[in-house]
């Protein structure tokens, strides 16, 4: 494997797309956290992949393409503080967003981990070159769809071998969310995990988190390998995670769980099949879709692009999926480094197990909240019903030009909302606000004890809830 790595200087007049912080204040000030940001051009040769006509067990190399992508890095400024853990993320097709970074950056920053984001979508490389910064990204070119699997594999090997100079890497986790969650499913299940190994024979990737992606959700859950590649049939076994010798977590909200029925499987502690499914109660697909930690949209608008707000007609949900997710990254890291077995969580129940439908309704309690899953405090001690689908406000929720969602209604259907209880219902449930907070606090502490919420997020959740009660 021949690669070329070149640093891209970062100056006030030439910032990376999706940089950590803008002069406006949008984003995260890395310097204040003892971190630095770097960007590299990364060049190599990648393949378009396809299946044989019989959709054989492994894909074949269809055509080779030279490429140049960009790699965005955030790491501790003091190498002595670096943990050795790298979170590797295929950047999202929607404006190259770092959804893993957005979701877990507080956990990364307080633990000295490193984050690496890699541009992998063909249309994004064109946007960078033609619309964002033609001078900075003049050389960026991903000439065909589907090259990202080789690109991410080659970056993973380069990180482990020092070809990308970030210091010692002791473990590397690949994770993605939504479209890039599906990317990670394909990478882990269709032979790329086995293809990209080190000279020792060990895999370059030590674990995966596949976020808010349903294996049974047609093309969205298991996208074709390349532009003209046959899609997997609905009953293909690769849609269900199988063992790869490293830990794999699937993390779903209620939205993806509705279509995931045919891809469900048991948890496993087997060394060759370490697997967990975590379905987080009271959340939906866009529950972590806040851009407060990302600069991509502001930069895109400044470059003349357009973006539609995700405003819906319902009351916005106050659930915090990201709080639980950070604990899951910690549990995965402990499984990799220390062999600590992570907790299990009950799956959601379906309203009708005998139903035959692409999207199956989940069972709900008398308040309208889902049963099963990771029992979050906002559904265990509720003041509202948390529901996974909304409707678009006029002129909002327009799908981005790359996306398969097709309509504002389909975009809004991924956005959660809540229906607040009436005062009478609240009076029946709780003797006082102090009673409510006592019970909410106990539920939060139970989640900490179970290992599904970290202390830092528990304290933030409780503080936010107290402030809401007091207002």
Q: For position 471, what pLDDT does the model report?
A: 80
List Cα–Cα distances, 379 to 264, 282, 370, 425, in angstroms. Answer: 23, 6, 8, 15
Q: For position 63, what pLDDT does the model report?
A: 81
Check: CB of residue 258 under 8 Å from CB of residue 361: yes
The position carrying tokens 């806040």 is 290
- Is pLDDT at 81 greater than 80 in this prediction? yes
What's 373's DSSP letter?
Answer: S
pLDDT digits (tens, 9 = 90+) for 265-295: 999 999 999 999 999 999 999 865 466 899 9
Q: For position 231, what pLDDT does the model report?
A: 87
Share the mean pLDDT of the chain.
94
CB atoms within 10 A of CB 144: 16
Q: Has residue 382 been placed in a domain? A: no
Q: Has residue 364 been placed in a domain? A: no
Q: Has residue 373 been placed in a domain? A: no
Domain that holds residue 38: 4-338
**pTM of the model as a whole:** 0.96
Angle at 192 between CA 206 and CA 258, to 5 degrees: 80
Q: Has residue 352 been placed in a domain? A: no
Q: Has residue 141 been placed in a domain? A: yes
**Residue range 444-448: mean pLDDT, rounded:** 98
CATH number at residue 290: 3.40.50
CA distance 153 to 121: 14
**Residue range 448-468: mean pLDDT, rounded:** 96
**Residue range 207-215: mean pLDDT, rounded:** 98
Give kind and range of the element (H or E) at residue 175: strand 171-177
- Is pLDDT at 57 greater than 60 in this prediction? no
Q: Has residue 445 been placed in a domain? A: no
pLDDT digits (tens, 9 = 90+) for 406-437: 799 999 999 999 999 999 999 999 999 999 99
**Residue range 380-386: mean pLDDT, rounded:** 98
Q: Has residue 278 been placed in a domain? A: yes
3-state helix, strand, coil in the chain (%, to 5): 35, 20, 45
Q: Has residue 247 been placed in a domain? A: yes
pLDDT digits (tens, 9 = 90+) for 154-209: 999 999 999 998 889 999 999 999 999 999 999 999 999 999 999 999 999 999 99
Quote the tokens at residue 326.
Answer: 């950070």
**Which is higher by pLDDT, 56 or 41?**
41
CB atoms within 10 A of CB 82: 20
- 230: pLDDT confidence band, cut at 50, 70 and 90? confident
The domain total for the chain is 1
């Amino acid at each position: 494997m021949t690669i070329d790595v070149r640093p891209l200087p970062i100056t006030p007049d030439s910032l990376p797309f999706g940089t950590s912080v803008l002069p406006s204040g949008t984003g995260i000030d890395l310097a204040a956290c003892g971190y630095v940001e770097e960007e590299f051009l990364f060049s190599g040769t990648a393949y378009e992949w396809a299946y044989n006509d019989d959709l054989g067990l492994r894909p074949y190399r269809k055509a080779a393409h030279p490429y140049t992508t960009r790699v965005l890095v955030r790491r501790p400024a003091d190498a002595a503080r670096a943990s050795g853990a790298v979170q590797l993320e295929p950047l999202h097709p929607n404006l190259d967003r770092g959804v893993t970074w957005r979701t877990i950056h507080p956990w990364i920053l307080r633990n000295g981990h490193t984050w690496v984001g890699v541009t992998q979508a063909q249309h994004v490389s064109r946007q960078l070159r033609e619309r964002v910064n033609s001078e900075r990204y003049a050389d960026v070119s991903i000439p065909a769809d589907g090259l990202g699997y080789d690109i991410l594999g080659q970056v993973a090997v380069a990180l482990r071998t020092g070809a990308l100079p970030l210091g010692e890497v002791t473990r590397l986790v690949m994770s993605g969310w939504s479209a890039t969650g599906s990317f990670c499913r394909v990478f882990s299940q269709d032979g790329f995990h086995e293809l990209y190994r080190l000279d020792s024979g060990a895999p370059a990737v030590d674990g995966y988190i596949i976020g808010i992606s349903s294996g049974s959700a047609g093309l969205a859950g298991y996208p074709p390998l390349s532009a003209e590649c046959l899609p997997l049939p609905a009953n293909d076994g690769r849609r269900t995670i199988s063992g790869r010798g490293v830990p794999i977590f699937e993390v779903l909200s209620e939205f993806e769980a509705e279509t995931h029925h045919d891809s469900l499987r048991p948890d496993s502690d087997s060394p060759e099949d370490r697997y967990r499914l975590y379905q987080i109660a009271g959340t939906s697909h866009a529950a972590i879709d806040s851009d407060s930690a990302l600069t991509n949209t502001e930069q895109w608008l400044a470059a003349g692009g357009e973006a539609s707000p995700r405003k819906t007609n319902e009351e916005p949900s106050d659930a915090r999926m990201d709080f639980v997710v950070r604990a899951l990254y910690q549990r995965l890291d402990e499984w990799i480094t220390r062999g600590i077995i992570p907790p299990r969580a009950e799956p959601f129940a379906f309203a009708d197990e005998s139903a035959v439908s692409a999207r199956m309704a989940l069972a709900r309690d008398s308040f309208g909240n889902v049963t099963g899953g990771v029992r979050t405090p906002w559904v265990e001690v509720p003041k509202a019903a948390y529901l996974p689908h909304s409707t678009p406000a006029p002129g909002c929720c327009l799908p981005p030009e790359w996306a398969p969602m097709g309509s504002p209604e389909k975009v809004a259907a991924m956005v959660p909302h809540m229906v607040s209880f009436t005062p009478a219902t609240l009076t029946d449930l709780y003797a006082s606000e102090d009673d409510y907070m006592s019970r909410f606090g106990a539920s939060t502490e139970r989640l900490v004890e179970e290992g599904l919420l970290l202390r830092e997020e528990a304290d933030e959740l409780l503080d936010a809830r107290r402030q809401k009660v007091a207002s």
